[in-house]
Amino acid sequence: MYPTNNKKLLDWLLQVVDLCEPRSIYFCNGSEDEFNDLSELLVERGTFTRLSNKKRPNSFIAFSDPMDTARIEDKTYICTRSKSDAGATNNWVDPNEMKIALSHLFRHSMRGRTLYVVPFAMGPVGSPVLQYGIQLTDSAYVVVNMHYMARMGTQVLEELGEFGDFACCLHSVGYPLNDDRPDVSWPCQPDNIYISHFPESNEVWSFGSGYGGNALLAKKCVALRLASFKAKSEHWLAEHMLLMKVTTPTGDIHYFAGAFPSACGKTNLAMMSPSLAGWKVETLGDDICWISIGQDGRLYATNPETGFFGVAQGTNRTTNPNVIKAISHDTIFTNTGLTEFGDAWWEGLEDDPGSFITDWRGSRFASSDQDKRKTAAHLNSRFTVRATQLRNLSSNWQDPKGVPLSGIIFGGRRSSLVPLVSHARSWSHGVFLGSTLASETTAAAMGSIGMLRRDPFAMLPFCGYNMVDYFAHWLDFAESDKLVLPEIFLVNWFRKNESGEYVWPGYGENIRIIAWMIERISGRIGAVDTPFGFVPEGNDINIDGLAITNKELNSILCADREQSLSEVQEIRHFYEKLGSGVPKQLLRELEIFEEKATNLS
Ligand code: GTP
Ligand code: SPV
Ligand code: MN
């Protein structure tokens, strides 16, 4: 009676049904009809509002519970048998203890609801790093988002067959429908959120939240936390990175992957509309990148997702015209504002919102109210859209081999110190730059905004094992002389001047920085050695047609001596907090950083 004979799935489903007591079970097939039926159901329940078909055909908006608007890192756990395998940066609980605690929460948690079985595959058919998972969830909102975000449904069940293995992902919003309790538009249990990972048994148990990375378990939970754990022993990398193809005016092709912490510019860089004539940028991915060694010794990267779950606020025709076009139809918006005309809206979007706007909390205000316009959309409001709707999607984005990387870019949000761009002196220096990446915090996770924190490789919230072992794993790639490794760069689009304004125009102008990187990769130009690596010489960044002066550019290319020296202390302190296992090469790189900082004038 079920559309599968997969033994593991059938056994596990039985256990979950016994524990959670759903009213019914539904196997997702991934069809368009299924998407339409479920979105209709979500409209009936008040989770979705259908947007005006004239404005944005086949699109919906959801307002979440105000307590459930982002990932909750405090409530995210890596449950390995030994605490040291989770490391100093992850929350840890013994797996047995965690399962006992969670079993209490999951007991009866799906009463009155449908349990959806969502089989998904991360990675294109034929990819050597493809990972299967099945999410059992009581959230129809999750299912429709998964339709866009992952390859899912009947085909995946067929690929799994009777004996195929997969990650078991159990998810409940934690809002059972008992007789005396009506449903709400965004069911959740914010006081009891647990996003728990069991990497050794390839499982995720997520309770209490319906939002983003907490609930779409294929994404951060499987494709980053579980996958990074697996990648360590299988000698590949699962990274929080964008993936882009750059074609130069002379037709040279370079692929770049880029790790930036959440809400620090991956989507925008990946989809960039380059300002320089003759340059072309095509997107392969905007959030997750799996990197493995190809037969020719180069590193090949694959995006395991099929959609984009991007930050809405700040997106507009100037900053990201490509995605604006992509989200003009068949898009799910979460926590943006809603206009008088029944369209999604956020501050900065050029569209006329009409005379009133409903904000993400559901209260209506006159659109002339400039203060309220700023908070019409939550800072972590998002769009969900299929990758294939992007006009500059690279045609080979689903190539199972992946694409060979010329460069890896690290970037954080730093209002001072870190130069606009630098080129790592070596792989180990690049790993040092990745390991010390820091950023001012954003709204992508619950907590304060704008506080500087170390976010190594943009993986602080997503590394499924001990961070120092992760550093060692990265360093290991330089051990074999058979590998042709990409060059590593560090960027900072967010340096501010004394008046607190961004100095670099960013977005489509970032092509000017990529152009410099390609010159460096090709070995055609020199550079100035600094603690952060090689930075551009005088006129090597093309600023023709920009408002920025050479003096201003130089002000964001240099590193201040005092600040660099205090950075040394902060990094030392950070490494100490990671425990005794920080690789020696990185400690050596820190000494070199200090020497170079001391020599700055
Ligand atoms: P996640 O989806 O959370 O992983 O975020 P992301 O890294 O993909 O970040 P995204 O590209 O969505 O950008 C987040 C915010 O940074 C948005 O508000 C952007 O407008 C802003 N931003 C992105 N690129 C630039 C840039 O080059 N310059 C400036 N000043 N802001 C940028
Ligand atoms: C991030 O926070 O890095 C995101 C959004 O990409 S979420 O999927 O919610 O994790
Ligand atoms: Mn992300």
Locate 19 and state its tokens. Answer: 């524990």
Locate 459 and state its tokens. Answer: 């993986």
Q: Examine the domain organization and report whether 459 and 571 are in the same domain.
A: yes
Beta bridge partners of 247: 253, 280
Nearest to 472 by CA among 438, 426, 439, 435: 435
pTM to 2 decimal places: 0.98
- Per the CB < 8 A criterion, the answer to whether 473 and 232 are in contact is yes
Q: Examine the domain organization and report whether 536 and 557 are in the same domain.
A: yes
Q: Examine the domain organization and report whether 338 and 213 are in the same domain.
A: no
| pLDDT for the residue numbered 179 | 78
Residue 50 lies inside a defined structural domain of this protein:
no
pLDDT tens digits for range 54-70: 999 999 999 999 999 99
CA dist 349 and 340 (Å) reads 15
Nearest to 384 by CA among 113, 138, 9, 59: 59
Q: By alpha-carbon position, which residue is closest to atom 17 of ligand 1?
A: 314
Q: Examine the domain organization and report whether 202 and 327 are in the same domain.
A: no
Residues by chain with Cβ below 5 Å of ion ligand 3: 262, 287
CA dist 218 and 223 (Å) reads 6
CA dist 134 and 233 (Å) reads 23
| pLDDT for the residue numbered 541 | 98
Q: Helix, strand, coil % (nearest 5) of the chain?
A: 30, 25, 45
Residue 476 lies inside a defined structural domain of this protein:
yes
Q: Could you give the C-alpha distances from 515 to 246, 445, 541, 550, 559, in angstroms and in order?
A: 9, 33, 8, 17, 22
Q: By alpha-carbon position, which residue is closest to atom 24 of ligand 1?
A: 265
Q: Which of 71, 260, 267, 349 to mutate to test the pocket of ligand 1 (most atoms within 8 A of CB)?
A: 267
- Which atom of ligand 2 is closest in space to residue 462's alpha carbon? 3
- Per the CB < 8 A criterion, the answer to whether 10 and 163 are in contact is no
Q: Examine the domain organization and report whether 588 and 522 are in the same domain.
A: yes
Phi, psi angle pair for 305, to nearest 5°: -95, 165
Residue 383 lies inside a defined structural domain of this protein:
no
| pLDDT for the residue numbered 140 | 98
| pLDDT for the residue numbered 393 | 98
Which among 216, 234, 252 is the end of a domain? 234
Locate 3 and state its tokens. Answer: 């559309």
Active site residues: 264
Q: What is the CATH number of the domain that holds 184?
A: 3.40.449.10
Q: Which residue type sits at 401?
A: K
**For every residue of 252-269, which 3-state class applies, written as one string?**
CEEEEEEECCCCCCHHHH
| pLDDT for the residue numbered 538 | 79
Q: Examine the domain organization and report whether 335 and 284 are in the same domain.
A: no
Residue 79 lies inside a defined structural domain of this protein:
yes
Q: What is the CATH number of the domain that holds 593?
A: 3.90.228.20
Q: Examine the domain organization and report whether 532 and 561 are in the same domain.
A: yes
- Number of folded domains in the chain? 3
Locate 252 and state its tokens. Answer: 């040279």
- Which atom of ligand 2 is closest in space to residue 71's alpha carbon? 9
Q: Examine the domain organization and report whether 429 and 527 are in the same domain.
A: yes
The Cβ of residue 243 has, within 10 Å, a number of other Cβ atoms equal to 28
Exposed e or buried b per residue across 197-229, where buried means at least 16 C-beta atoms within 10 angstroms of its C-beta: bbbeebbbbbbbbbbbbbbbbbbbbbbbbbbbb
Secondary structure (3-state) at 441: coil
| pLDDT for the residue numbered 181 | 86
CA dist 519 and 525 (Å) reads 6
Q: Examine the domain organization and report whether 269 and 407 are in the same domain.
A: yes
Q: By alpha-carbon position, which residue is closest to atom 7 of ligand 2?
A: 213
CA dist 272 and 244 (Å) reads 9
Distance from residue 164's CA to the centre of ligand 1 (Å): 38
Q: Which of 268, 327, 492 to mutate to test the pocket of ligand 1 (most atoms within 8 A of CB)?
A: 268
Q: By alpha-carbon position, which residue is closest to atom 11 of ligand 1?
A: 265
Q: What is the CATH number of the domain that holds 366?
A: 2.170.8.10
CA dist 292 and 257 (Å) reads 13
Is the minimum distance from the CB of 444 to ligand 1 under 6 angstroms? yes
**Ligand found nearest the CA of 461:** 2
Radius of gyration of the chain (CA): 24
The Cβ-side half-sphere exposure at 254, using a 13 Å CA radius, reads 25
Pocket of ligand 2 (CB under 6 A): 71, 212-213, 219-220, 262, 287, 309, 444
For residue 452, give its domain range: 238-303+397-598
Distance from residue 167's CA to the centre of ligand 2 (Å): 20
Which among 199, 234, 269 is the end of a domain? 234
CA dist 542 and 594 (Å) reads 31
Strands 403-411 and 421-423: unpaired
Mean pLDDT by 10 residues, the chain (601 residues): 96 98 98 98 98 98 98 98 98 98 98 98 94 98 98 97 98 93 96 98 98 98 98 98 99 98 97 98 98 97 98 96 98 98 96 96 97 97 98 98 98 97 98 98 92 97 98 96 96 96 98 98 97 95 97 96 97 97 98 98 87
Instruction: Label residue 523 left, alpha or beta by phi (over 0 means left) and psi (-120 to 50 means alpha).
Output: left
**Ligand found nearest the CA of 225:** 2
Phi, psi angle pair for 473, to nearest 5°: -60, -45
Residue 39 lies inside a defined structural domain of this protein:
no
Residue by residue, DSSP assigns 498-512 as: TTS-BSS--GGGGHH
Q: Could you give the C-alpha distances from 529 to 328, 416, 428, 444, 513, in angstroms and in order?
A: 46, 19, 16, 34, 17
Residue 531 lies inside a defined structural domain of this protein:
yes
Q: Examine the domain organization and report whether 423 and 406 are in the same domain.
A: yes
Secondary structure (3-state) at 9: helix
Distance from residue 439's CA to the centre of ligand 3 (Å): 14
Q: Examine the domain organization and report whether 102 and 14 are in the same domain.
A: yes
| pLDDT for the residue numbered 545 | 97
Largest CA distance in the chain: 75
Which among 234, 269, 289 is the end of a domain? 234
Residue 41 lies inside a defined structural domain of this protein:
no
Q: Examine the domain organization and report whether 367 and 260 are in the same domain.
A: no
- Which atom of ligand 2 is closest in space to residue 214's alpha carbon? 9
Locate 111 and state its tokens. Answer: 């009463």
Residue 387 lies inside a defined structural domain of this protein:
no
CA dist 321 and 282 (Å) reads 13
